[in-house]
């Protein structure tokens, strides 16, 4: 009886080893298939990356370019695009933009156009939308030679999203760093867009200086779009060993057109409270 139990234990042990080996092999295949799919998906692109409509341009064209060796199917949609108070993108159905086609395919080494038209009248503030071009996965072709099996893999469908900006009748750009604050070693800069069009921040840079003006800390944070009427925070943490040495923090936000700046005079309790 004891010997029989030991044999079962050995069998279960070997089964566990085979299961682990199979799991690792499956993950390896999935990862390799994913990277292969990404390489194939990179064979198509969309131009331009953004579109501006307005008084002088009521329509436009996006070109979907297939640089690969296989036909690619796509589904197209357009949604209104706004942001919440934290900068998170919010999308909603819209009838303001007309577009064609909604489903399409692009042959290898060729391109097709997606035509965009503005249906709604211009507003006093910029209206923003995004066009989504979704790749539709297609089953792999059965090879003519039966001896050539279809390779197993994971299919990854990519979706591209490009902004469409509808300019108001009288565009006005206005933005600033309206507040810089620090608490417990974390510094936060609030960047406000008070104009009626979007602003795109390339980067937000924090530079900490000592009493003698020496730069002892530097951190660059990636920027993004700030739609009209919004104030978005950009933050970074100051290392504890440097925080007590800071006398001021200079913040610069680089937009597409200019650089806006602000300064915070650091107090001792900002590192601890």
**What are the per-10-residue average pLDDT scores of the chain (273 residues)?**
39 42 39 36 83 95 94 96 93 97 95 96 96 86 57 71 96 95 95 96 96 95 95 94 94 94 94 83
Q: What is the reported pLDDT for 65?
A: 96
pLDDT computed for residue 250 by the predictor: 97
What integer pLDDT is reported at residue 57 of this predicted model? 94
**Element housing 78 (H / E):** strand 72-83
CA-CA distance, 188 to 219, in Å (whole number)?
Answer: 12
**What is the DSSP annotation of 203-271?**
EEEEEEE-TTS-EEEEEEEE--EE-TT-EEEEEEEPPHHHHTT-SEEEEEEEESS-EEEEEEE--GGGG
> What integer pLDDT is reported at residue 39 of this predicted model?
34
Query: Is the separation of the CB atoms in 58 and 117 below 8 Å?
Result: yes
Q: How far apart are CA 271 and CA 34, in angstroms?
A: 45
Q: Is 88 helix (H, G, I), strand (E, B) or coil?
A: coil
Strand, helix or coil at 27?
A: helix
- Residue 249 CA neighbour count, 13 Å, CB half: 32
Q: What is the pLDDT of residue 140?
A: 60
Residue 86's pLDDT is what?
A: 86
């Amino acid at each position: 009886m004891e010997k029989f139990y030991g044999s079962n234990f050995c069998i279960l042990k070997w089964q566990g080893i085979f299961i682990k080996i199979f799991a690792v092999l499956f993950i390896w295949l999935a990862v390799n298939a994913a990277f292969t799919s990404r390489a194939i998906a990179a064979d198509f692109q969309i131009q331009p990356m953004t579109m501006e409509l307005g008084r002088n341009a009521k329509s436009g064209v996006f070109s979907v370019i297939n640089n690969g060796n296989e036909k690619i199917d796509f589904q197209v949609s357009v949604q209104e695009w706004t942001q919440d108070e934290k900068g998170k993108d919010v999308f909603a159905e819209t009838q303001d933009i007309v577009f064609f086609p909604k489903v399409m395919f692009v042959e290898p080494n060729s391109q097709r156009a997606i035509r965009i038209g503005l249906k709604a009248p211009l507003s006093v503030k910029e209206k923003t939308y995004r066009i989504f071009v979704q790749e539709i996965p297609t089953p792999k072709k059965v090879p003519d030679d039966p001896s050539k099996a279809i390779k197993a893999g994971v299919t990854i469908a990519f979706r591209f999203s490009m902004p469409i900006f509808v300019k108001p009748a009288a565009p006005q750009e206005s933005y600033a760093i309206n507040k810089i604050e620090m608490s417990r070693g974390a510094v936060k800069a609030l960047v406000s867009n008070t104009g009626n069009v979007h602003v795109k921040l390339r980067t937000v840079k924090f530079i900490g200086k000592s009493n003698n003006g020496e730069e002892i800390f530097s951190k660059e944070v990636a920027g993004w779009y700030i739609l009209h009427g919004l104030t978005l925070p950009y933050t970074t943490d100051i290392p504890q060993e440097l925080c007590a040495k800071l006398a001021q923090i200079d913040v610069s936000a680089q937009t597409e057109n200019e650089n806006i700046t602000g300064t915070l005079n650091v107090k001792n309790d900002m590192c601890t409270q």
